[in-house]
Amino acid sequence: MRSMLTLAELCAELRISPSTFYDWRAKGRAPRCIKLPNGDLRIRRSDLNTWLDDREDRD
Could you read off the pLDDT of 8-37 as tens digits, one per residue?
999 999 999 999 999 999 999 999 999 999
State pTM to two decimals: 0.86
pLDDT of residue 2: 75
Sheet holding 4-6, edge to edge: 4-6, 41-44, 34-35
User: Tell me: the pLDDT tens digits for 38-57?
Assistant: 999 999 999 999 999 999 88
Residue of 17 and 2 predicted with greater confidence: 17
User: Would you call 11 exposed, middle or buried from its count of C-beta atoms within 10 A (0-12, 13-18, 19+)?
Assistant: middle
Q: Say what the pLDDT of residue 30 is.
A: 97
Element spanning 4, H or E = strand 4-6
pLDDT at position 57: 85
